[in-house]
Structure 1
Amino acid sequence: MNKFKEVFQNRNYRNLFFANFTSQMGSTIGLTAFMFYLLDRFSDQPVYATITELMFSLPTLAVFFLVGVFADRMDRQKIAYYCDWISALLSILLIGAILTEWMPLIFAVLFLRSAVQKFFFPAEHSMVQGILKKEDYTTASGLNQMVMSLFMLFGNGLGIAAYWTVGVYGAIMVDTVTFIISAFLIRSCHIKEEVRMPNGKHRIKDLKIAVVFSDFKVGMVYILQHKLLRTLLVGFFVFGIVNGGFSVMPVFILKYKLAPNTYEELSIIVGIIFGVGVLLGSFVASLLSQKLKLHQLIISGLILTGGFVILSSFATNTYIFLGLLFIASFGLPLVNIGIGGWMPSIVDPKMMGRVQGWISPLMMLSQSLTLGFIAVSFPSILTVEMLYWMVGGCLALVGVFYMITLPKFTKNLQNTTETTTVESASVL
């Protein structure tokens, strides 16, 4: 706990930490409220709820070749600051789009807002890497995981509560306020120029098409030259499948199998149970990270979570489902803290944005493909149980794959002195 306190006393880290949290909240509350608004208004068309989630992931594929280059070439603090303000303005435009009830316009604004937000996280995470010491990365990863668990605990519940109390328009206004708070937190940071602009000063007009694609290619070559990164890309692709499935699976199994009449209320309970599981798992994973090798945490978490996700598909009532889901959620922090604590030693800080520029879109590609597949196949082809088999099976298979491949990389890293950093990927 003293280590957590020490890291959190870093003013810049603390402000960036809360800026990231509030920006994520701005991405979630209104989106959750809007999804339930669609499920209420178009209850016989679940495809709309899936498309809403798709509008959160698909924009990555439109801007993936830009986000990493911008994070490495431009002022990272300004990127994060302006992303928040633009997202706030687009949230207001989203209210106007919903008032028109024209779905193409609504989804277009959602797509644009999400695209802008994709520039925020590479810039913010790059600054976090620059203001912390190498030995603090695992601690920061544990802090991020604990807050993520609290966000899981209250995020969807806050979205549903906002929908019930102030409606979909009020929920989106909450988005707007949280984006503005995040922007002020970003602006309050005092970050050294070499952290904000590790590759020197550049202006937008300097980023010509040839430069952008050249930098993007450099990121690809860098990954191909590192066997560990190439291996992890396989896992990242599957993590996207998991994220895509989990964004709609809990609501679907409640609405179409376990509790069709009370699925909204139970969705809050599911969020609470899931968040509590992740929160407790975060504490346990933080303790285990001091005793076990990090790759062992990752493998254990993947197999544990994958197995119980599959088992939860066989639940015959909500109590059994919630119990199995709790155990599945307990294993996720083992994966996230393991990756977050291990990764900061394998990629050059000056390359972080460009490496992430490949990893993030790969995850979002698989997430978007998964959501698209669900949109066209559920419930006509896929049953809700099959969704759980697909996601749980993917997690377990990656766990087995990592069991075979990661130990040898750990052994190799012990004999080398590679230094550097990459954004910690996160399942869910």
Structure 2
Amino acid sequence: MQEFLKVFQNKNFRKLFFAGFTSMMGSIIGVTAFMFYLLDKFGEQPFYATLAELMYSLPTLAVFFLVGVLADRMDRQKIALYCDWICAGLCLLLMGAIWLDWMPLIFVILFLRSAVGKFFHPADQAMVQGVLSKEEYAIAAGLNQMVGSLFMLFGNMIAIFIYWSVGIQGAIAFDLLTYVLSALFIMSMKVNEDVRLPNGQHTFKDIRVKMVWKDFVSGFVYIKQSKLLLSLIFGFFLFGIVNGGLSVMPAFIMKYKLAPDNYEQMMMWMGILFGVSILSGSVLCSMLAKKIRLSYAIVLGLFVSGVSLSFCALAPNVWSFFILTGLAGFSIPLINIGIGGWLPKIVDPKMMGRVQGWISPINMLSHTMTLGLIAVLFPKVLTVEMLFWVVGGCLIVVGLFYMLTLPKYDLDEEENNKELQLEKVPG
């Protein structure tokens, strides 16, 4: 707990943390409420709900070659700030499109808002490296995991409550407010130039096709030179399949199998249970982050969550489904904190944007492919049980791969640390 308090004493990190929190809230609450809106309006056509989720993931494939380059070449603080303001403006346009009830325009605006939002995370994460020390990265990863836990805990509940109270327009207005708050946090930060511009001053005139391509390729070359990075990124591809499936599977199994008459209420309770389990796991894993090997934490989390989600397909009722998802939620922080604490340690701060620029599209490519297949094949070909088996199986496969590859990197890191300590000992 003292370590958490110490990190929060850093004003820049505190503001960056709350900026990320509110910006993430803006991108999640409205999307969740919109999915329920579409399930109500097009109950017999789950295709529309899946398409809405696609509008959240598909834009990554349109902007991935720019995201990392801009985060490394341009002012990271301004990128995050402009993302928030533009997303706030698009929220206003989205409210108008919903009022007109023009579905093509609604999906176009959702696509644009998501595309702009993709530039926020690489700039945000790259600045974290500049405001914290290496020893604090795992703590920051734990805090970020807790943020995700809070969204799991309150996200569905807030989205459903706002949707019930003031409709979809109210949910989008809530999004707008969160983006404005995030922008204000970013504006108030005082960040050194070497953190904002680690590769020197550049203008948009400098960002030409040749330079973008060169930087994008340099990110690939940098990743290829690190076997550990390559191993982690293979996992991100399969994580995309998992995230794509989980974005719609709980709502589908509630509406079409376990609780068709009150699926919204059950989704709200599931969100609370899942959030509590992830929050509990986050607190425990954050305390253990410096006491256990990161590779062991990641592999254990993958196996437990994979097996739990696979058995969700066999759940005979809502309560058994809740127990299994709760177990999965408790183990997921082991994965996120392990990987989140490892990446900043092994990536050069000058290359973080370009590395993130490769991780995000690889993750979102599989995420988008999964949602596309679900949109086309569910429920005619794929059953909801099959979806859970695929997602659980992917986690188990990644767990087996990491079990064979990651422990040796943990041992290498320990040996390097021992050598450094011996060099510091006066001879």
Aligned pairs (5 A) from 1:1-400: 1-400=1-400
Distance in 2 between the 1:145 and 1:12 partners? 19
The superposition leaves residues 98-119 of structure 1 with CA deviations (integer Å, 9 ceiling, x where unpaired) of 1222221111100000000000
Q: State whether residues 244 and 368 of structure 2, in contact with CA within 8 Å, keep that contact through their aligned partners in structure 1.
A: yes
What is the distance in 1 between the residues matched to 2:321 and 2:169? 32
Q: Deviations over 1:183-219 (max 9, x none)?
A: 0000000000000000000001110111011100100
Counterpart CA distance in 2 for 1:413 and 1:142 is 20
Q: Which amino acid aligns with 2:341?
A: G
CA contact (8 A) 2:68 2:356 kept: yes
Distance 1:286 1:124 in 2: 21
Question: How far has the Cα of 1:227 moved from its partner?
Answer: 0.8
Deviations 1:246-275 (A, max 9, x none): 000100000000000100111100100110
Alpha carbons 1:159, 1:171 under 8 Å: kept:
yes
Letter in 1 for 2:236: F
CA contact (8 A) 1:28 1:156 kept: no
Question: 1:16 is matched by which residue type in structure 2?
Answer: L
Q: State whether residues 255 and 263 of structure 2, in contact with CA within 8 Å, keep that contact through their aligned partners in structure 1.
A: yes
8 Å CA contact 2:310–2:393 kept in 1: the answer is: yes
Q: CA deviation at 1:147?
A: 2.0
> How far did 1:233 drift?
1.4
C-alpha distance in 2, partners of 1:256/1:178? 33
- Determine if contact 1:57/1:368 at 8 Å carries over to the other structure: yes
Say which SS state the counterpart of residue 204 (structure 1) adopts. coil
The letter for the 2-side match of 1:371 is L
Q: For structure 2, list consecutive stretches of 5 or more residues without a partner in the other structure.
A: 418-427
**Could you tell me which amino acid in structure 2 is paired with residue 284 of structure 1?**
L
Identity of aligned residues (%): 61
How far apart, in 1, do the equivalents of 2:359 and 2:287 lie?
Answer: 28
Quick one: distance in 2 between partners of 1:284 and 1:136? Answer: 17
Instruction: Number of aligned residue pairs: give it.
Output: 417
Aligned 8 A contact 2:294 2:410 in 1: no
Q: Which runs of 5+ in 1 are unaligned?
A: 418-428
TM-aligned CA deviation for residue 234 of structure 1: 1.0
2: CA distance between counterparts of 1:28 and 1:406?
32
Q: What are the superposed Cα offsets for residues 40-87 of structure 1, whole Å, 9 maximum, x if unpaired?
A: 111000010001011000000000000000000000000000100000
Q: Which residue of 1 aligns with 2:424?
A: none
Q: Could you tell me how far apart the structure 2 residues matched to 1:334 and 1:6 are?
A: 22
Contact 1:305 1:331 in 2 (8 A): yes
Q: Is the 8 A contact 1:306 1:392 kept in 2?
A: yes
Greater CA deviation, 94-103 or 84-93?
A: 94-103
Q: Distance in 2 between matches of 1:415 and 1:327?
A: 35
Please give the TM-score of this superposition, normalised by the length of structure 1: 0.96
Task: For residue 205 of structure 2, give the secondary structure of its aligned residue in structure 1.
Answer: helix
TM-score if structure 2 supplies the norm length? 0.96
Structure 1 residue 285, shift from structure 2 partner = 1.1
SS in 2 for 1:381: coil
Q: Which moved more, 1:334-343 or 1:71-80?
A: 334-343
Per the TM alignment, residue 150 of structure 1 is displaced from its structure 2 partner at its CA by 1.1
Secondary structure of 2:329 counterpart: helix
Cα separation, 1, equivalents of 2:330 and 2:359: 25
CA RMSD of aligned residues (A): 0.9
CA distance in 1, matches of 2:128, 2:288: 24
Segment of structure 1 superposing worse, 30-39 or 192-201: 30-39
Q: Aligned partners of 1:12, 1:300: CA distance in 2, in Å?
A: 34
CA offsets per residue over residues 346-382 of structure 1, 9 Å max, x none? 1110000001111110000000000001100110001
Taking the aligned partners of 1:52 and 1:161, their CA distance within structure 2 comes to 20
Partner Cα distance (1:383, 1:346) in 2: 41
Aligned AA (1:306)? G
How far did residue 416 of structure 1 move?
4.2
